[in-house]
Amino acid sequence: MVERGSGRKPEGKLTRQQKGKIGEEEACRWLLGQGYCILQQNWRCRSGEVDIIASFEDLLIFVEVRSRSSNSGFGTPQESVDQRKMLQVRSTAAVYMQMSGEHRRQIRFDVIGVIINHLGEIISVNHLENAF
């Protein structure tokens, strides 16, 4: 959670980076609570970044996390994952699998949408398995 007054813009709104960090932290808590094992966070290579790489049972799961304000009015966080982002996550996942030697594991792509209020408090978490 972001503490009041810590690194916020003068008008009290959370920055995009703060919302993203809060959302990713909550997504990790959610996954851990559901029995997932977090392998990597913010894994980067030349083709891009994957927010969370997790394992569950025999699956290797690549998770895109999207955070939104409760009053954004632009649809759900999950709806903001467009075709370009899906392709970027897929190509980054392929690099991870090759580099980690995990290329024989079954994979899945999930999206976790986190709604946050203006104080940085979590309103809801929606985990969409096998999103793309």
Residue 64 φ then ψ, to 5°: -100, 125
Domain ranges of the chain: 16-128
pLDDT of 92: 98
- With beta carbons less than 8 A apart as the criterion, state whether 22 and 114 touch: yes
Q: Helix H segments across the chain?
A: 16-33, 83-100
Give 55's pLDDT tier (boundaries 50, 70, 90).
very high
Cα(39)–Cα(128) distance, integer angstroms = 19
Which of the four CATH numbers 3.40.50.2300, 1.10.3720.10, 3.40.1350.10, 1.10.357.10 does domain 16-128 have? 3.40.1350.10
Tell me the whole-structure pTM to 2 decimals: 0.85
Q: String of b and e for 74-103 (b: at least 16 CB within 10 Å)?
A: eebbbebbeeeeeebbbebbebbbeeeeee
pLDDT at 130 over 50: yes
